[in-house]
Amino acid sequence: MTHEGRNAVVTGGGRGIGRAIATVLAAKGAAVAVWDLNETDAEETVALIREAGGKAIAVIGDAADTATVRQSAAQTRAELGPVTILVNNAGITKYSVFLDLTEENWDRIIRVNLKGPFLVTQALMPDMLEAGWGRIINISSSSAQTGGPAVTHYAASKGGVIGFTKALALEFIDKGITVNNVPPGTVDTPLMREGFDPEQIAPHMPMKRVGQPEDIAYAVAYLASEEAGYVTGQTLSVNGGRYFF
């Protein structure tokens, strides 16, 4: 399985799951544009890829802002060329019990987690249509499948990502473009550590461990491959047995 000759965008590629996805795609031959709001994080990911012999660029900006997305797409095309692999990974959360959930917090989560993938996908879809080939992988969440306390806004946004995936897959199903989503389970990332200690969670997981970012990255690499050309509109749950549907 190779991604040689493909240009990929990974949003939120500066750390955690996004960094793992970017480095795995690069290791398999893709040239990767690491889109991230944090310049230091993005440059660190790019440095890791280049040190391993891969090709990558850092593209800094807000993936949920229309003007910035257009600028980022233009920069990526200018430096790498047309994009045919897109991983909508950028996402945020802020835990809040429902009755304390503010409208501002709700809007912020929906803006980044759901509006962001819409804007980025719409900006890059013309490249895939022109090529007659494309792979879009959206990172959703097992919280959208199971629910959970203090994550109503987050689960709603990621549930929207799953619906977005299915509808988009059908709209472009005869264009050589596949659209799938990966809902991670409990994965050891900086974002997760803001709310939980992985060591305390691990004994309660079906596999008695939390996931690692690379667990998600290899699933994404498959969905981004030529070999996954007959897979579209699917939810590939990578969650260590937390949820089976």
Beta bridge partners of 179: 136
DSSP 211: B
The stretches of the chain forming alpha helices (DSSP H) are 16-27, 39-51, 66-79, 103-110, 116-131, 143-146, 152-171, 190-193, 198-201, 213-223
Whether 243 is catalytic is: no
Backbone Cα Rg of the chain: 17
Chain centre distance of CA 45: 15
CA atoms of 71 and 59, how far apart (whole Å): 9
Q: Of 107, 245, 217, 88, which Cα lies nearest the Cα of 165?
A: 88
Residue of 199, 115, 102 lying closest to 153 (CA atoms): 102
Q: Two tokens at 187?
A: 């994965």
Q: Beta-carbon neighbour count of residue 51 at 10 Å?
A: 8
Catalytic residue chosen out of the listed positions 95, 154, 218, 222: 154
The SS3 of residue 21 is helix
- List, by residue number, the catalytic residues: 154
